[in-house]
Homo-oligomer: A and B are copies of this chain.
Amino acid sequence: MISGKAIEAARLLDRLQRLARAGELAGDLNPAQWDALRYLARANRFSRTPAALADYLASTRGTVSRTLASLEAKGYVRRAGNLRDGRSVEFTLTKKAADTLKQDPLLLVAKDIEKAAGRGLPDILESLREMLRTAIARNEGRAFGICVSCRYFRANQRMGPSPHHCALLDQPLSDADSEAICVEQEPRAA
């Protein structure tokens, strides 16, 4: 029913993950904090909230709230209220966080992958994408894909620095926005 190869692959993934995790435990940040910083570095302004982060991490609002509080106390993130919705808060990275992310231990993993996969990397990548899609579907999670690939993305709707448009939130989007990940993203094709 489940092949031995698939089980071995799952075990390898699990072990790889443990090693990567161990690398994230050194220093001032722990794995959850690293994941939060990485997320905030890539998420658009509609998605830099505790709730979206909790969704992304398959965690809870309570846990994420504490993680963000400790990142704030350590000076990695800044908190700002949302003018439209008084309940919501938005987090942004500080310069300290941006500098820290340049030494992201995930880059070491990427280096290992590059070294190990060689010319097979494109195939591996496609398989990993498919695995993630499958896993997300099973967990009933959100995709968090990039804005430009979303069914609600409308390119070049006007002139100026934010030429694109989100048809779901009815908000203008810059080029940078369009490359960020979004909590609301839904793939274009049905």
Contacts and interface: CB of A to CB of B under 8 A. Distances in A.
Interface in A79-111: 106-111
Interface stretch (A12-20, A65-73, A161-169): A12-20
A17 B19 contact: no
Interface in A1-58: 2-3, 5-23, 35, 38, 57-58
Interface residues of A, number: 57
A32 to B, nearest CB: 9
- Tallying the copies of this chain within the complex gives 2
A19 B113 contact: no
Contacts of A5: 121-122, 125
Secondary structure dominating the interface of A: helix
Given A20-B17, A112-B135, A120 B127 contact: yes
A99 to B, nearest CB: 18
Contact of A8 (B12, B108, B125): B125
A23 B111 contact: no
A114 interface: yes
B114 A19 contact: no
A115 interface: yes
Interface of A: 2-3, 5-23, 35, 38, 57-59, 106-117, 120-125, 127-136, 138-139, 141
5 contacts: A6-B113, A14-B109, A18-B57, A19-B141, A116-B134
